[in-house]
Amino acid sequence: MSKATVCPNCGGSDIDNDQSRGNAVCVSCGSVIEDNFIVSEVNFQENSLGGTSVIGQFVSSEGKTGSSLGGNFRTGVGKESRMITLQRGKDRITHIGNQLNLNNHCLAIAYNFFKMAVQKKLTRGRKTDHIVAACLYLACRVECTPRIL
């Protein structure tokens, strides 16, 4: 993680590095200096039965998640269903995004939001079209693209 010493927006030097949220914020103006820190350390947690589990998850360069730390860690449960959900979401994002004349960068950002929602299990019990619309709206807001959904 690179330490930001000066805010590029206001020039302030009081930067709050929050490891738990993974961001660095200027205390003076509130600008997010750095977002989504990547932590390269592995932590373990002991449960009540004396077993251990990994805190966090492995992310490969291809974007696949899982654990490569041994056979005692359960990964890949429900992987096929998740892949189907991601593919359907990507198809819907592409279809609706093309109707709104959004560029590929906005579609990629919306798909990343969709993947986060699936990973955090925020899609269960909700219609895919509603999740897709929310992800496209977020992508438009992040990219300052004026669209009404």
Residue 106, token pair as written in the block: 């906005």
SS (HEC) of 54-108: EECCEECCCCCEECCCCCCCCCCCCHHHHHHHHHHHHHHHHHHHHHCCCCHHHHH
Place of tokens 């019990």: 125
Q: Tell me, yes or no, whether 147 lies in a domain.
A: no
Neighbouring CB atoms inside 10 A of 88's CB total 13
Q: Is 131 helix (H, G, I), strand (E, B) or coil?
A: helix
For residue 108, the model assigns a pLDDT of: 93
Helix H or strand E segment including 140: helix 128-142
Residues comprising the chain, all counted: 149
- 76, 97, 131 — which closes off a domain? 76
Query: In terms of domains, do 62 and 83 share one?
Result: no
> Is 60 exceeded by the pLDDT of residue 86?
yes
Query: In terms of domains, do 70 and 102 share one?
Result: no
Place of tokens 């096929």: 80
> Is 80 exceeded by the pLDDT of residue 93?
yes
Number of domains making up the chain: 3
Q: What CATH number is given to the structural domain containing 15?
A: 2.20.25.10
Q: Tell me, yes or no, whether 16 lies in a domain.
A: yes
Mean pLDDT in residue range 83-90 = 89
Confidence of residue 115 (pLDDT cuts 50, 70, 90): very high
Query: In terms of domains, do 110 and 133 share one?
Result: yes
Query: In terms of domains, do 93 and 131 share one?
Result: yes
For residue 34, what are the domain limits? 1-40
Residue 12, token pair as written in the block: 């302030």
Query: In terms of domains, do 27 and 70 share one?
Result: no
Give pTM, 2 decimals. 0.47
Place of tokens 């993680």: 1
